[in-house]
Amino acid sequence: MSVRVRFAPSPTGKLHVGNARAAVLNFLFARQQQGSFLLRLDDTDTERSTAEFAAGILADLAWLGLRHDVFARQSDRFDRYREALERLKAAGLLYPAYETPEELERRRLRQRALGHPPVYDRAALKLTAEDRARLEGEGRRPHWRFGLAQRPVTWTDLVRGEVKVDTATLSDPVLVREDGQFLYTLPSVVDDIDFAITHVIRGEDHVVNTAVQIEIFQALGGALPHFAHYPMITGKDGEKLSKRLGSLSLEDLRAGGIDPMAVNALLAKIGTSDPIEPRRTLDELAAEFAFAKIGHSAARLDPDDLKRLSVKLLHMRPWAEVAAILAPAGIGEDFWLAVRDNLEAASDAMDWWNVATAPLTPVVADAALTSQAADLLPEGDPTEATWQPWTKAVSAATGKKGKDLFLPLRLALTGRNHGPEMKKLLPFIGRSRAVARLRGERA
């Protein structure tokens, strides 16, 4: 069996880390199994779906490196959904219902008041042909409900194990609204059948919906895919992530300089038995993927983990990946390797290049010490090996040690109280510039 999975976002908003997790897990499983990855835009909601959001989804997935093998839009497939609808009608599995949203809400309130679950009572099944004609004569148009078999539906979930949902406890789902617009459930099943989806990997908020869809799969004669429902992500305080997604959209993370592989690694590892550590390629993550590693409890997301992973990945980046950005400024591989372990963004290398090579007004915290240091700096171009014997000589001459020795030297040479190792920066500052700065001169 050739594995095929799908990621099916609705272009009604921006992708955030919560729904991007489905994209990452589906992609990694397909890559591991040498299968294919379908991107399907679930854009049946014509009122809220926009071309802008669709383009944003494509841009976000490209940024993550999640390339799709097959692409589909539900808005191109309405004829197929109508065919499936007619098949269900012919099989006697769909029935028209005429209640307004207000009437349904009043019924739900009544049921709750009586201590009953707010499940649709199938009142529409009792309507006669005359009743339906009268209601339509009043201007009402029916929505169409799928008649559930009202029996236990079971499956072996690849994450949760054995799952059973009794559809007798559920309302018959509305598949088509009064205005003829398809809701999520039927198009999703039809697409999964037509595109031969073998595995549906999604959040546990779809568990109940899966039981409904299994009945529709069976009604349409489609092969059932395997299902895997992973726990949802919460904020680090345990609250629903949906309440605090502002800065966690992929667009904002990209603009904030987060490495896309940091996002991939976090979403692949969060809530699993693996540690959350950086990986440089999707192939590495795919090789480590396993449904058995996914836990059963909600995974807590700390945005600081994204920053940590992103910085770690930056410190692992070879020169070839940043050369196009830095080489035009005159920066070479030797400087990149000297400073990268102290950077939080690749562009910070430009800042440190300016510190090392551009005129700078030094900060002189101990003029006697820095003047003595200027006198003791060896002749010739400094190298990394220069720093240790030179600072030992300065310490011996001044009696200064530790912070009292090294901080005044750093302030004079860089104007900053922190940064890359001074032994690595000194060769790029050069002897004449270093001597001038140590004497308090702008250089």
pLDDT along the chain (443 residues), means of 10: 94 92 98 98 91 96 97 97 97 96 93 91 95 94 97 98 97 96 96 98 96 98 97 82 65 91 97 95 98 93 91 95 93 96 92 96 96 96 97 96 96 96 97 97 96
- Residues 6 or more apart in contact with residue 11 via CB below 8 angstroms: 41, 43, 49, 50, 51, 53, 54, 56, 57
Asked if residue 19 lies in contact with residue 9, where contact means CB atoms within 8 angstroms, the answer is: yes
CA angle 353, 358, 360 (to 5 degrees): 110
Do the Cβ atoms of 132 and 98 come closer than 8 Å? Answer: yes
The per-residue DSSP string of 346-403 comes to: TTHHHHHHHHHHS------S-HHHHHHHHHHSPSS---GGGHHHHHHHHHHHH---HH
Nearest residue to 175 via CA among 150, 140, 147, 195:
147
**What pLDDT does residue 248 have?**
85
Q: Where are the beta strands (DSSP E) in 62-185?
A: 70-73, 94-97, 143-146, 152-157, 161-166, 174-176
Report CA torsion sign: 197, 203, 204, 207. Answer: negative
As a whole number of angstroms, the distance between CA 195 and CA 80 comes to 12
Closest alpha carbon to 191 in 361, 76, 307: 76
DSSP sequence for 281-305: -HHHHHHH--GGGB-SSPEEE-HHH
The backbone torsions φ and ψ at residue 164, rounded to the nearest 5 degrees and listed phi first, read -135, 130
Domains in the chain: ranges and CATH: 359-438 (1.10.10.350)
Token pair in block for residue 302 = 């700390």
pLDDT of residue 242: 57
- State the burial class of residue 407 (Cβ atoms within 10 Å of its Cβ: 0-12, 13-18, 19+): middle
What pLDDT shows up at residue 243? Answer: 45
Burial class of 334 by CB neighbour count within 10 A (0 to 12, 13 to 18, 19+): exposed
Tokens 């099944």, residue located: 125
Distance in angstroms (rounded) separating the CA atoms of residues 127 and 142: 12
Copy the structure tokens of residue 199. 């595995």
- Please compute Rg for the chain using Cα positions: 31
pLDDT at 235: 82
Burial of 296 (0-12, 13-18, 19+ CB in 10 A): exposed
Q: Give the CB-side neighbour count of residue 279, counting CA atoms within 13 A.
A: 21
Task: Single out the residue of 388, 375, 396, 395 nearest to residue 439, CA to CA.
Answer: 375
**pTM (2 d.p.):** 0.89
Q: How many CB atoms lie within 10 A of CB 110?
A: 11
Question: Quick one: how many helices (H) and strands (E) in the chain?
Answer: 19, 12
Task: State the Cα–Cα distance between residues 391 and 345, nearest whole angstrom.
Answer: 30
The secondary structure element, H or E, covering residue 36 is strand 36-41
Tokens of 383: 């190298």
Residues 39-78: b if buried by 16+ CB within 10 A, e if exposed? bbbbbbbeeebeeebbebbbebbebbebebeeebebbebe
